[in-house]
Amino acid sequence: MRKEERDVKILAIVGMSGSGKSVAVDYLTGLGYPKVYFGGMILREMEARGIEITPENEKAFREKIREEEGNDWVVRQVIKDIHRLIEAGQKRIVLDGVYSWTEYVTLKKEFPGELTFVALVLPKKLRYRRVAERPERPFNHTEIMERDRSEIENLEKGGPIAAADYYILNDGTIEETNVKIDKILEEIEF
Domains and CATH numbers, the chain: 3-187 (3.40.50.300)
What pLDDT is attached to residue 36?
97
In contact, 157 and 151? CB cutoff 8 Å: yes
Q: Is the pLDDT of residue 70 over 90?
A: no
**Given pLDDT bands bounded at 50, 70 and 90, which one contains residue 4?**
low
Most confident of 54-63, 137-146, 157-166: 157-166
**Given pLDDT bands bounded at 50, 70 and 90, which one contains residue 121?**
very high
Measured on CA atoms in the order 2, 41, 9, 159, is the torsion positive or negative? Answer: negative
Q: Is the pLDDT of residue 1 over 70?
A: no
Query: Mean pLDDT over residues 100-120, rounded?
Result: 95
Global model pTM greater than 0.85: yes
**Given pLDDT bands bounded at 50, 70 and 90, which one contains residue 116?**
very high
What pLDDT is attached to residue 151?
87
Please report, rounded to a whole number, the percentage of residues in the chain having pLDDT higher than 70.
Answer: 97
Query: Mean pLDDT over residues 26-52, rounded?
Result: 95
Q: Is the pLDDT of residue 107 over 90?
A: yes
Mean per-residue pLDDT over the chain, rounded: 93
Taking phi over 0 as left and psi of -120 to 50 as alpha, with beta for the rest, 20 belongs to: left
What pLDDT is attached to residue 15?
96
